[in-house]
Amino acid sequence: MTITRRNALLTGAAAAATLPLMPRAAFAASDVDIAIVGGGLSGVYAALRLATSKPNQSLRLFEMSDRLGGRLRSIAFPQAPGLIGEAGGARFLDSHRHVTGLARALDLVMRPTPLDLPQDRLNLKTRNIPLAHAGAGADALPYEMPATRQDLSAWSLRKALAAIAPETAGLTPAQWRAKRLSIGVKGKPLSAWAAGVLLADALSPGERDFLRDTARLDDAALEGNALALFDSVLRDADSEGPFFTIAGGFESLPRAISEKLTPFGDIVSRSERLVSLTVPEGKGGTFKLAFEDANGKRSQLAAKTVILAMPRRAIDAIPDFRVRASKPFAQALASVSQVAACKAFLLYSAPWWKDLGIHGGRSLTDASARQFIALGAEEQRLTSETTGGFGLLETMSETNDAAALRALAGPAKPGASGLSWLGADSALAQELHKQASTTFGVPAPAPVAAAFQDWSVDPYGGGLAAWNTGADPLAASDAMLQPLKGRALYVVGDTWSPRQNWAEGALEQTEAMLQKHFGLNVPGWIAS
């Protein structure tokens, strides 16, 4: 499927931009109207919207690393440059109207990337069967639970949540949004509970293990905010549908946005780390920002408005930012935790899983790899996405599993933003290859290379975010838009969105800030 459309709002100078991003400038002390810190999806999107909507205001965007895109990072091995792996965010739903609308506006090509196909494998508790055979009788999975509960859909969590709070059964997303704060358990609001505590009361140990292994309810999710778990399942229940990716990699989205910035001058600076941020004493004053480049050279900037498009760890790591001690901002920051996450890749000379009838999808395991995304033999792969005959397995692990793989991968190389290229004989490659062979149920040919992305390194501090117990995700998200009353300081990103860990959440949160605090109108390209 190819979906393209030219966005009328991005015509003119911005739409005509085809030049590569200009090199970083050496900034001397100067003044700007708006300083954006963080060059991930939220940062570059805010920059483009403000540059096109407020052309009379000066704007600068600063990024700590040498690349834009943040946790949207697409990689390819030199042997197979057309075979793209997603080291960060990988896919989106067709109901994610901000992502799909923006992709169309930028003339990016979207293609389906289905998961959980009948031929995919399940290797759970030493049992190895095709996904299509997971059911009752001889093919039942080895969990002490009713066979009727063996539903691998992510939305099977609705059954568990209905057992915890029966009044949620059958609620539409709109009905849930209206009732979410009035529903409690044992006299306490849902936000006061850890998700795992409520699930322990509602489910048998076998059912909890099943959800942990198939719905990715790991330790972080179980320890996190129960209201956030209900939100993610019930609010987004209308988001069931096909997954999509962007041809050329998900990183194509922030890259295409950044290219639209070139007509506005050299406003993007990479390899600039924010080392100091001073908030004005009174309303209407200017912020003082200090940056340090890769060579240790410092520069200063005064700005009327500051947008921090950063996750919690990156904000915490600003050496001189005393405003964190202010109660409103401290409370808002404390509402989320960063969760360790990593991705690993195995490159093979051929997609050997094709012989098993597997042409894409996702196979699950309870080993540390957790899942294997099979790339290189997809039926939906575009002719432009040449593989060179190679095959690629992509994994994603969190918390303890991520730590186990990190120990095998070794420390990330300096300046690599957590990405390490590894040989086929590395300890990580050998372990993941062993797990892949077990998961697919066949002795697989040896890999030719491996890679590892560790999102626990700075400035990210963890690949995922989770709402802490006690926080209302909607209220906390709104508070972070402007955490200091009367100050033109705004915080955006998927970390602070009710739709955490989705590109859609990053764009939703940023767009809410732009409309509420900058008076921008809803862009016409957002899909209704």
Render each residue's pLDDT in the chain as its tens digit; 528 residues.
333 222 323 322 333 232 223 333 333 445 899 999 999 999 999 999 999 999 999 999 999 999 999 999 999 999 999 999 999 999 999 889 999 999 999 999 998 888 888 889 989 888 888 887 766 554 567 777 765 555 555 446 777 788 888 888 888 888 988 999 998 899 999 999 998 888 888 878 887 787 778 776 666 677 789 999 888 888 765 555 689 999 999 999 999 999 999 999 999 999 999 999 999 887 778 999 999 998 999 999 999 999 999 999 999 989 888 776 678 888 889 999 999 999 999 999 999 999 999 999 999 999 999 999 999 998 777 767 788 899 999 999 998 999 999 999 988 766 668 999 999 999 999 999 999 999 999 999 999 999 999 998 877 888 999 999 999 999 999 999 999 988 999 999 999 998 999 999 999 999 999 999 999 999 988 865
CA 141 to chain centre: 30
Respond yes or no on whether the N-terminal peptide bond of residue 280 is cis (omega within 30° of 0): no
pLDDT of residue 169: 84
- DSSP, res 218: -
pLDDT of residue 468: 93
d(CA 47, CA 307): 10
Instruction: Copy the structure tokens of residue 136.
Output: 């009752």
- Please give the model's pTM, rounded to 2 decimal places: 0.90
**Same fold? 8-70+251-328+474-517, 74-116+242-248+341-454:** no
433 neighbors 444 (Cβ within 8 angstroms): yes
Reply yes or no on domain 74-116+242-248+341-454 having CATH 3.40.50.720: no
d(CA 324, CA 178): 33
d(CA 108, CA 503): 15
Crossing angle for the helix pair 205-214 and 195-202, to the nearest 10 degrees: 130
By CB atoms closer than 10 A (0-12, 13-18, 19+), residue 64 is buried
Instruction: Copy the structure tokens of residue 473.
Output: 């995700």
pLDDT of residue 151: 57
What residue spans define the domains of the chain?
8-70+251-328+474-517, 74-116+242-248+341-454, 154-236
Q: Which amino acid is at 246?
A: I
d(CA 520, CA 273): 29
pLDDT of residue 349: 97
pLDDT of residue 1: 30
E strand or H helix that includes residue 465 = strand 464-467
CATH code reported for the domain at 8-70+251-328+474-517: 3.50.50.60
The C-alpha R_g of the chain, in whole angstroms, comes to: 23
